[in-house]
Amino acid sequence: MGAAAKSAQLSPTAGLAQVRQITIGPDEAGQRIDNFLLRVCKGVPKSHIYQVLRSGQIRVNKGRIDQTYRLLEGDTVRVPPMRLPAPSDHKAPAAEFPVLFEDEALLIIDKPAGVAVHGGSGVSHGVIEQLRAARPAVRFLELVHRLDRETSGILMLAKKRSALTALHEQIRLGQLDKRYLALVKGDWQHRRQHIKLPLFKYTTLEGERRVRVQADGQPSHTVFNLLRKYGVYVLLEAELKTGRTHQIRVHLASSGFPIVGDDKYGDYALNRDLQKPDGRRIAFRRMFLHAYRLRITHPITGEPVDVEATLPKPCVDFLQSLEPKAVNATESA
């Protein structure tokens, strides 16, 4: 390999033992540096990539950058030698997931709760690895965005580099309409409420990724619509105006309405109580957060794409067990 590649299209594991200088081409422009590195350094543990980023060993145009830097065409990225894990015979099992939309450029699935979108952080494999194993003939398949492991619902994957780039641009410009269903406990008052709280990502001493409200955090905006009250429980629709990590969960928890079943930011005593049935109310053992609607512009055709993922049965059954106490939002206004 020469001192500089003409573009970032290179063998994923080529030269991992030596310094590489990679020149960004038009297909890579617009990507965040961390996502770019995760792709070109396949096989390197995610935690190691972020460690190298934080240490300043990754340079763009000979200067230091942070993990949020977005690459520009013509940028030169210095990638230091990367540590590969010990060889393993373990392979991700092939698996398919309910398909909501698919064509030659785009795949949209309904991800179940409890399944990670990718391997790492103690998880050997996730949706992306399982789909690649199930579709070996597909030359390109990448996550467009992420969902938390315990969140169910709509997940987009790109089958072409051009589609991935176009969708990332829609995300950057806030052109996606992404909506979630969330159940909280408390006296929610407003039919429609905007929450704008800056969010700061950090890592605990145990290495766990967390988010908190902090003045110098990233600007974050969620709109919540009251759908229905179930006694002390409230079903909300969340509209994402920005797409920060754990945004809905932290915005609700910081406002005094943690999501039912949230094991990071939730009401732990409530979650423990809900794991056992109480009278007509059945037990509930997951986080009640579901990505149920997505509206985008098709990255290739320019046509609108509108998909919905129905609420999973455990969530429906739980709401039905609260049904005698249900009150429509219009009745409670």
Whose CA is closest to 71, among 165, 200, 162?
A: 165
Residues 6+ apart with CB under 8 A from 223: 192, 193, 194, 195, 238, 239, 241
- CA dist 136 and 131 (Å) reads 9
Residues recognised as catalytic: 148
Do 144 and 164 touch, CB atoms closer than 8 A?
yes
Cβ(101)–Cβ(108) below 8 Å? yes
Query: Phi/psi at 317 (nearest 5 deg)?
Result: -65, -40
Buried b (16+ CB within 10 A) or exposed e, 230-262: beebbbbbbbbbeebebbbbbbbbbbebbbbbb
Cα 326 to Cα 177: distance, rounded to the nearest angstrom: 28
DSSP per residue over 164-222, as a string? HHHHHHHHHTT--EEEEEEEEES----SEEEEE--EEEEE-TTS-EEEEE-TTSB--EE
- In 3D space, the residue among 244, 68, 248, 231 whose CA is nearest the CA of residue 150 turns out to be 248
Phi, psi of 316 (to 5 degrees): -60, -45
Contacts of 294 by beta carbon, 8 Å cutoff, 6+ apart: 108, 154, 156, 176, 177, 178, 179, 305, 306, 307, 308
